[in-house]
Amino acid sequence: MKLKIAVLEGDGIGPEIMKQGVAVMDAIAAKFGHEFEYTPAICGAHAIEEVGDPYPDSTHEVCMQADAVLFAAVGSLKFDNDPTAKIRPETGLLAMRKKLGLFANVRPVATFDCLLHKSPLKEELLKGADFVVIRELTGGMYFGAKYQDNDQAYDTNIYTRPEVERILKVGFEMAMTRKKHLTVVDKANVLASSRLWRQIAKEMESQYPEVTTDYMFIDNASMRVLTEPRYFDVIVTENTFGDILTDETSCITGSMGLQPSSSLGEHTPLFEPVHGSWPQAAGQNLANPIAQILSAAMLLEHFGLNEEGALIRKAVTASLDANVRTPEIQVEGGEKYGTTEVGEWIVNYIKN
Amino acid sequence: MKLKIAVLEGDGIGPEIMKQGVAVMDAIAAKFGHEFEYTPAICGAHAIEEVGDPYPDSTHEVCMQADAVLFAAVGSLKFDNDPTAKIRPETGLLAMRKKLGLFANVRPVATFDCLLHKSPLKEELLKGADFVVIRELTGGMYFGAKYQDNDQAYDTNIYTRPEVERILKVGFEMAMTRKKHLTVVDKANVLASSRLWRQIAKEMESQYPEVTTDYMFIDNASMRVLTEPRYFDVIVTENTFGDILTDETSCITGSMGLQPSSSLGEHTPLFEPVHGSWPQAAGQNLANPIAQILSAAMLLEHFGLNEEGALIRKAVTASLDANVRTPEIQVEGGEKYGTTEVGEWIVNYIKN
Ligand SMILES: CC(C)[C@H](C(=O)O)[C@@H](O)C(=O)O
Ligand SMILES: CC(C)[C@H](C(=O)O)[C@@H](O)C(=O)O
């Protein structure tokens, strides 16, 4: 298969982990006879410094021409300390999501048995948990009308029927490919926007008679993912709730550095780690490249290259089992490997 | 001291736990020579059935005439299954908050060493955690302009400067009485309303030079309370984020049935358990009365009756240590006590 891939390494640890992600894709291409063509493009703090725009038109062009975007992370310390700056890495991220129409952010929440001890949760609660959170990514308060002056400010949490239908469809269809259990998370006892979500979800239920659909308020969901994570199969929720819930759920796995995600929508699909740009660690060969590598696996699987994806996953698991791990997940007394060394180990495993 | 107390027992387990809350207050009154005058009033599902209004004017009158409101919980199964019904227990709750001007919901997150094993979190992470979450309770999306038709819906997350100033003031002042560390939780990298919060908080910092103030995005906070709960002293946040975060934080203590809260504002202060009305358990002598009893302690402490509050807390801890516990927190093989028996044990402890 031929694939044109836009490579957006972004800021902080981005370049380092991206290097390993691409190396893994190259190993897969060689082994399976694929042709992956990479086009790098700038974004984030990096792009603000170079051209004054965190998601320049030229980058958007590259993304639009590609079959898929492999993205690392954006954000730098300079901007972290001033979240009110007008031009910031995050505004580029939001522009990218909107322009590429990436309305469905899919975050698998998978645990690794050998890393359960790293979770803040008790192992017996977490073991075997395996669910997916689908977050609406181009609507709600992120993009609704905003206003701010010195005396008041507002954001508008707005959703239209087509926006809600298409994201719920992703949820129902994802449930059909899994354990057929969909949980719609909302706040329908308070919010009008949630009531619209719930109304539409109820209408759609009959189209998916095999799916068991249930409804949960976000405040309750924020507890239930802690007390009973195995309850869930597929969760679907709106943008702001999804922002909070996906961070919470990726954190409970104890291995945030291992969680990939995909963002799907109208144009080119995008694949990226759940974690951020960790500017403090940039250039230090410390960051875990696995979330980036598993994002590459999700990318390949998106194009039906399931054997290729499975091999990457097998290689990742083997590296963990062999204790070839970056510092944050290394067992006590174990040797600590760098970003490069972990990536190279996985590449070698794939080659052989 | 003479205190007029409005008693709103509400629905589900409300009446049972309220009975124990009042019994404890009576024991305190007798021991310390106080005079507490109770006026019961209806609210919740109960009140919808009786008079068609979950917070009738007559109940509001009783609350306005009182020095404090002792509240249990509202909600019934009938309404839980239909969150879109126009008249529902929650609308009464929101009306009550708004009419009483209860803009500051104060939720102490305290752990009990003997119950750490009940937490979904690992004990070593949680031990010693002791913080307070202050949730703004009468603004934001809960009360901003709403709209819904068949094709679109919105909610408005609006805050004005005076609303933000008064709740931040509660936060700063609470921090002054504690470890002088205030964390403002917002989403200032995306929301205009959060940027106003952050701007005002930064302006107010200089009035509280002794307080270390920091800022955290809500998505990050939802992780940090899990990975490092001891980091926090006082958290202050807006209504919707506070709804999610306070449920998450009360759940991690492993003892939701033991968490009281106060809601303070323009008129009569209100004291209530963090947990809900648990309709499934109503009338079964199963519910833990301790959150209600500790809400009574918070009430007394609000009026400076610190010795009285301390005695209640001592009695509660003694009951836990004596394993006089309701089923959900009883140790394996231990005898299970009912709502009444736990309440009576605590009352007897206070008397003697
Ligand atoms: C950086 C920020 C704007 C972004 C968001 O809130 O969507 C991030 O938290 C995420 O979840 O991708
Ligand atoms: C019942 C509901 C309207 C309420 C809220 O969201 O405020 C509840 O969850 C709470 O936290 O007191």
Q: In which residue ranges of chain A is pLDDT below 70?
A: 81, 83
Mean pLDDT of B43-47: 95
Out of A20-24, B68-72, B86-90, least confident range? B86-90
Residue B167 DSSP SS3: helix
Mean pLDDT of B7-12: 97
> B345, B337 in Cβ contact below 8 A?
yes
Q: Residue A78 has what pLDDT?
A: 84
> B233, B134 in Cβ contact below 8 A?
no
In this predicted model, what pLDDT tens digit does every residue of A76-123 receive, in sequence order? 888 876 767 788 898 999 999 999 999 999 999 989 999 999 999 999
Q: Residue A147 has what pLDDT?
A: 97
Give contacts of A117 with chain B, Cβ < 8 Å: none
Q: Chain A 108-137, CB below 8 Å of chain B: which residues? A: 119-122, 125
Is A188 in CB contact (< 8 Å) with chain B? Answer: yes
> Looking at ligand 1, which residue's alpha carbon is closest to its atom 8?
A243
In this predicted model, what pLDDT tens digit does every residue of B291-310 receive, in sequence order? 999 999 999 999 999 999 99
Residue B31 DSSP SS3: helix
- Extract the tokens encoding A88: 């910031």
The torsion angles phi and psi of B12, rounded to 5 degrees, stand at 60, -125
| Strand ranges inside chain A, DSSP E | 2-10, 35-40, 68-73, 104-110, 130-136, 146-148, 152-160, 181-186, 212-217, 234-237, 260-264, 270-273
Mutation test residue for ligand 2: of B79, B243, B263, the one with most atoms within 8 Å of CB? B243
Percent of chain B with pLDDT over 90: 91
Mean pLDDT of B125-150: 97
Percent of chain B with pLDDT over 70: 99
- Do β-strands B260-264 and B270-273 pair in parallel, antiparallel, or remain unpaired? antiparallel
List C-alpha distances in Å: A274 to A73, A133, A143, B54, B285: 9, 12, 21, 43, 45
Contact between chains at B90 and A252 (C-beta distance less than 8 A) = no
Q: Residue A85 has what pLDDT?
A: 79
Choosing from A55, A187, A233, A337, the catalytic residue is A187
Domains detected in chain B:
1-100+268-352 (3.40.718.10), 108-259 (3.40.718.10)
CA distance A352 to B1: 82
CA of A141 to the centre of ligand 2 (A): 20
Mean pLDDT across chain B, nearest whole number?
A: 96
> Looking at ligand 2, which residue's alpha carbon is closest to its atom 1?
B90
CA of A236 to the centre of ligand 1 (A): 17
DSSP H or E segment with residue B216 = strand B212-217
Q: Residue A255 has what pLDDT?
A: 83
Is A274 in CB contact (< 8 Å) with chain B? Answer: no
pLDDT range class, residue B82, cuts 50, 70, 90: confident
Mutation test residue for ligand 1: of A8, A11, A74, A90, the one with most atoms within 8 Å of CB? A90
Q: Structure pTM?
A: 0.95
Q: Residue A205 has what pLDDT?
A: 97
Q: Give Cβ neighbours of residue B231 (< 8 Å, ≥ 6 apart).
A: B224
Does B80 have pLDDT greater than 80? no
Helices (H), A253-303: 290-302
> B268, B6 in Cβ contact below 8 A?
yes
In this predicted model, what pLDDT tens digit does every residue of B245-256 receive, in sequence order? 999 999 998 888
Contact between chains at B243 and A187 (C-beta distance less than 8 A) = yes
Q: Residue B148 has what pLDDT?
A: 96
Contact between chains at A153 and B193 (C-beta distance less than 8 A) = yes
Provide Rg for chain A, Cα atoms. 20
Q: Residue B83 has what pLDDT?
A: 67
